Structure 1
C-alpha cells in the first residue's frame, strides 16, 4: 500500500508534485487547526450556555419554591384551624347565622391580604346548611366528579398541585388542593389556595432562555413566552420520551422545529402528592450563532490566505516546471535521434547545472554514435558479403555421386534396349542440371523447388524401377512461397539413398507442403529402414555443431543452416525416426516468405 503511494507520487508532474506538497504540508494542517479552533469555540459557547441554563433553572426553582411554600404553609395552618372546623361543620338554622359566621371568620381574607403570594382561598364543604360566598362553597356533583377534587380526596391529606380554573374569576391558576379531615365530626373538606400567577410570571420574565413551569400533567403553568401559558408540551412540539415520562436532567431534541438543549429539574414541595417541573430550553443554533459567525469569518480569512498562497505556489512551480519542460523536450529530441542538440537554460541552480551537463553529454553521445554507426555499417557490409558467399558456397555443394549413378544407369539401359523412356530421363536430367546451375539466386518459389524434386524422383524411379514410389501433395496456396534453392531436394535424396536403397522391397517417399496458420509446413517422409536412437542423436548433434565438418558439406546440415540463416534459428529441421518404421523430416517457413536476415 505504501509502495503504491510512493509510486503514484513519483509519477506526478513536477508542478503537480509541488502543489500537492503545499497542500499536504500547509493547506491541510492549517485547515485542521482552523476547524479544531472553531470547533472548540463553538463547544465553549455551547458549554457556557449549558452552565448558564443550570444557574437559571436553579434560580427559578428557588424563587418559585419561595412562592409556593407560602401556599403550603397556609394550607398546613388551615388544616389545624379549630375555628375553620367549627364554621365548616356547624348546622345553621337561618341565613343570618350563616352570614354572621362568615363575617366573623376572616382567616381567608386576612391570608389573601397578608400574603401577596396567594391570590384567593376557597373551601369546599359538604354541609347543606352553608351558603356559597366564594370562600365556602358547597360542592356540586360536577365539582365532586372533577379530577382535581378526586385527586385531593385520594391524596389523604397530601398537597396536590394542579393548574385549574378559578370558579369565581374564570381564569387558570396554579392551585394547591388539599383534603382537610375533621375527625371529631367525621367529615372533611377540600381546601384550594390559588397561587399569585403574576409573581410566577415575573420570576420567569427575568430569564434570558425560554423557561417554563410545568405541572404533573405537562401543562405549562407559567412561561416567559406568554403565548405558551396553558398549552401542553405536546402543543409546542416537545413530545419526547424522557421529557413526557417526567425525567430530569439534560436532553437534546427538536422544539418548535429547532434542535435545542433542554434542562428539566423537578420541584416537589414537602408533603405533596405531586410537584412541578422547571423546563429551560435554548436553541443550539441560536447559542452558537455568534461562534459560527466568528468561525465563518476565520475560515474566510484562512481560505483567502490559502488561495493567495496557492496562486503564488502555482506561479513559482510554473517557472520551475517550464525550465524542466524545456530540458525534457531536448531529451526527447535526443531520444528521437537528434544527437547534436543543445539546450539553453539560464541560472546556476541544479536545473541550470543539469542543462550544462546535458549539453556535454549530448556532444559525447553524438561523437560516439557516429563511431558506432560507422562500425555497424562496416560490420553489416562484411556480414552481407559473408552471407552472400556462404549461400553461394552452400548452393554449389552438390555431391556429384548422384549424377554419376544416374548417367551409369542411363548408359546401361541404353545398352540393353533402345526405348524412348531413355529420352525422357535424359531430358529430366538436363532439366535438373540446369536448375542446379541456377541455384546461385537467393530465392525461388516453392513450386519450382517441388518441380526439381519431381524430376529427381522420376529419374530415381527409372533407376530403381518398382522398388521406388513417391507422392507429392502441395497446397496451391503455398506454391508461390519464396524459399532458398536446394532445400527439399537434399532431404529427398537422403530419404532415397539412406532410407530405401538398402531396403530389399524398396518403399515410398512422401513430400507434403501444407499451410498451417501463417506458415508453410514442409515434410519429407519415407517408410525405409529408419535410424536407431544413437544414430538419430548423432545426426541431431551434427545439425547443432558450430563448425562444419568435411563430410557434412552436402546434405541435411547444409539445409538446416541455410534455413536458420534465412528465416531464423527456430526454422531448422526437425527429425523423427525409428528402426524399421522410416524417417520423417519437417520444417516451417513463413507463408509470405519474410526473411530473417
Structure 2
C-alpha cells in the first residue's frame, strides 16, 4: 500500500506535489501544537516576555551607551586648539583677560551644546587646574574655594589608573554650594558628574587639569520611561564596581547597596532566569552597558503573566483550525506561483527546440527560477551570436576561394610570358630586366602553388627577397633591407603571403615619403611557444590619429581588408584577419608608430613544425 501511495504521489504534477508537501508539513506541527498548547503556554509566555523585555532593555542600553558616548565626546571640547589656548592663557592672565577667556570658553561650549543637542541636558561645566582647584564654571555648581585634591577619583585620574570617571548618583557632595542642596528625593534631585583628565596637546605628558560635566539622573530616567510604561515589572540599575543602586523604580533605594540575592547578569544562554522569592516566582531579565560598568535588571511576577492561560487554551485551538485552513490556501497559492514560471520557461525551450531562436523568457522573478530564465536568455543570445559568426566565416571562406580562383586564371600564360621576357633580356644583354622578370615569375609561382596554405618560414623569406629585387630597381640606393632570422626558425611552418603586404606598406608608406635613405628590417624570435616576427622601418611613421584608426580597423571583425591596399594587393587588415581565422584570436598583428620615427609591426603565430 505504501508503494502504491508513493507511486501515485510521484506521478502527480510538480504543483500538486508541492501543495501536498506544504500542507503535510504545516499539518503535523499544527496538530502537535493544538495537542500540547496548554502545557506549553507557560513556557511560551515566559520566553515571549523575556524576549520582549530583552528588546526593551537592548533599546535602553543602546540609547544609554550612545548618550554616555556623546557626553564623552562633548568633553573632548577641551582638546580643541583654540580652547586649550584660552585655557593656558587664562591660567596666567589678569582679571580682565580671564573674563575674556572664559567668555570664549562659554562660546565654544555653547556651540558644542547645539551640535550635540545638549542644551539643558548638561547642567553645568566645571574646569579644574592640575592641582584640583576650580578656575572655571559656566554655572554655579561647585564651591569656588573647594580643593578636590582629597577626592579618590582625582587621585585615580592623577595616577593614570583611570582616564575618566562617572560619579554618582548623589544628592549631595561636600563641594556643592548650600543653595543647591536638594529639597527632596526625586529622580530629578539626584546628580551625575562625568570627569575627564585633560592633557596638553603640545606636551601630552603634561596634565592641564580636569573637566567636570554635571547632569541630572532624569537624563537616565527618560531612557527607562519606555520600559516602565510597556513592562509590568520593576526596573533597577546597579553599579557593579561600587556595588550601589544607580536607579530603582523605588526612588528611596537609589544610592543604597545592591541586595545580596540580585546575582550577576546572564552572560550567555537565554539572557534571563527564573528566581523564587517568598514562594513566588519571578522572571528576571538583565543586560549590561558597554560604556560604563552598569547592569540593568527587569523583574516580572510569573503568576501575573500566566493569568490568562485558560482563555489562551481556547484561543490556541481556534488558531490551529484557522491556521490549517490558511495553510491550504497558502499551499495552493505558493505552488501555483512557483510552477507558473517553470511552465513559461518550458514553453520557451519547446519553441527553441523547434528552431525558433527569437523567443525570450519574460516576466522573470528575482528568485532562482528567474535566474534560470535569465541564463536561458543569455544562452539563446550566445547561440544566435555563434550562428552569425559561423555564417560570417563561411562568407569569408567563399570570398577567399573566389579570389583564389581568380588568381589562378591562366597562370601558365603569365609564366611563359615572363620567361620570354627573361630570355629576350639575356639575348639583348639587359640583365637587370631579366632578373626582375625572373623574380616576378617566382613570386607568381609561389603565390598560387599547390600543396596547402602552410609553407616553411624559409619559403616566405625567399618570397620577400624576390619582392625586394623588384622594388630595389625602383628605389636604387634609397632602400636597404636587413634580416635577423635565426637558422633554427627557418624550418617552422606558417601561412604564406604574410610578410610581403607588410613590407610593401613599410616601403611605399614609410620609406618612399621619407627624405634620404631608409631601412626595412625583419627580425624573428621564439617566445613562450610562439614565433614573433617584427617588421620595422625608419620611415615617416603615423600620427596618433592614423595609428588609432588602423588599430580600430584591425579590432573590427566585421570590417574587410580587400580595399585597404588598393587593387591587386592584400592589405594589412586582410593579413591580420587571415592570421586570426587560421590560428585563433590570440594571434595576429599589433602596431606601434610615431611620426618621424618609423613603424613597428609585430606578427605572432604559434610555433609549429607541422
> TM-score surpassing 0.5?
no
TM-score, normalization by structure 1: 0.36
Structure whose CA Rg is larger: 1
TM-score, normalization by structure 2: 0.36
